[in-house]
Chain A
Amino acid sequence: MSFISYLINGISLGSVYAIIALGYTMVYGIAKMLNFAHGDVIMIGAYVVMTAVTGMGLPPAAAILIAVIFCTVLGIVIESVAYRPLLNAASSLAVLITAIGVSYLLQNIALLVFGANTISFPNVLSIPALSLAGGELTITGEAFITIVSCIVIMIALTLFIHKSKAGQAMLAVSEDKGAAQLMGINVNGTIALTFAIGSALAAIAGVLLCSAYPTLTPYTGAMPGIKAFVAAVFGGIGSIPGAFIGGLLLGIIEVFGKAYISSQMADAIVFGVLILILIVKPTGILGKNIQEKV
Chain B
Amino acid sequence: MKNMKKMNKMTRDNLITYLMVFVLFLVMQILVSSGNVSSLLQGLLVPLCAYIILAVSLNLTVGILGELSLGHAGFMCVGAFTSAFFSKCMVNTIPIAGVRYFLALLIGAAAAGICGILVGIPVLRLKGDYLAIVTLAFGEIIKNIMNILFIGRDSAGFHFSTTDARALGLLEDGEIIINGPQGITGTPKDSTFAVGVILIFVTLFIVLNLIHSRSGRAIMSIRDNRIAAESVGINITKYKLMAFSVSAALAGVAGVIYAHNLANLMAQPKNFGYNMSIMILVFVVLGGIGNIRGSVIAAIILTLLPELLRGLNDYRMLIYAVVFIAMMLFNWSPKAIAWREKYAAKLKRGKKKEV
The residues of A with any CB-CB pair to B shorter than 8 Å are 28, 34, 36, 82, 85-86, 88-91, 93-94, 96-98, 100-102, 104-105, 108-109, 111-112, 226, 229-230, 233-234, 237, 262, 264-268, 271-272, 274-275, 278-279, 282-284, 287, 292-294
Instruction: Verify B163–A264 contact, CB threshold 8 A.
Output: yes
Contacts of A230 in B (CB 8 A): 133, 136-137
Query: What is the count of residue pairs linking A and B with beta-carbon distances less than 8 angstroms?
Result: 134
Binds A, one of B8-16, B189-197, B209-217, B328-336: B328-336
Q: Bound complex: CA of A212 vs CA of B68, how far in Å?
A: 34
Q: Is B297 an interface residue (CB 8 A)?
A: no
Instruction: Verify B329–A85 contact, CB threshold 8 A.
Output: yes
Q: Given that A34-B129, A97-B285, A278-B134 are known contacts, is A272 also in contact with B314, CB under 8 Å in the complex?
A: no
Instruction: Verify B140–A264 contact, CB threshold 8 A.
Output: no
Instruction: Verify B274–A226 contact, CB threshold 8 A.
Output: yes
Instruction: Verify B325–A264 contact, CB threshold 8 A.
Output: no
Interface residues of B in 34-61 (CB under 8 A from A): none
Contacts of A96 in B (CB 8 A): 285
**What are 14 A-B pairs with beta-carbon distances under 8 A?**
A85-B335, A89-B332, A89-B334, A90-B289, A96-B285, A108-B321, A226-B274, A264-B148, A267-B144, A268-B144, A274-B134, A279-B122, A279-B125, A294-B228
Q: Bound complex: CA of A276 vs CA of B209, how far in Å?
A: 35
Chain A nearest CB: distance from B107 CB in Å? Answer: 23
Q: Is B237 an interface residue (CB 8 A)?
A: no
Interface size class of B (residues with CB under 8 A): 35 or more
Instruction: Verify B318–A274 contact, CB threshold 8 A.
Output: no
Instruction: Verify A101–B328 contact, CB threshold 8 A.
Output: yes
Contacts of A105 in B (CB 8 A): 318, 321-322, 325
A-contact bits for B313-355, CB 8 A (1 contact / 0 none) = 0110110111011001101111110000000000000000000
Contacts of A94 in B (CB 8 A): 285, 328, 331-332
Instruction: Verify B130–A284 contact, CB threshold 8 A.
Output: yes
Instruction: Verify B62–A278 contact, CB threshold 8 A.
Output: no
Extra contacts besides A82-B329, A91-B285, A105-B322 (13): CB < 8 Å: A86-B333, A89-B334, A97-B281, A97-B282, A264-B148, A265-B145, A265-B148, A274-B134, A274-B137, A278-B122, A278-B130, A282-B125, A282-B130
Q: Is B171 an interface residue (CB 8 A)?
A: no
Instruction: Verify B285–A93 contact, CB threshold 8 A.
Output: yes
Q: Bound complex: CA of A193 vs CA of B16, how far in Å?
A: 46
Contacts of A88 in B (CB 8 A): 334
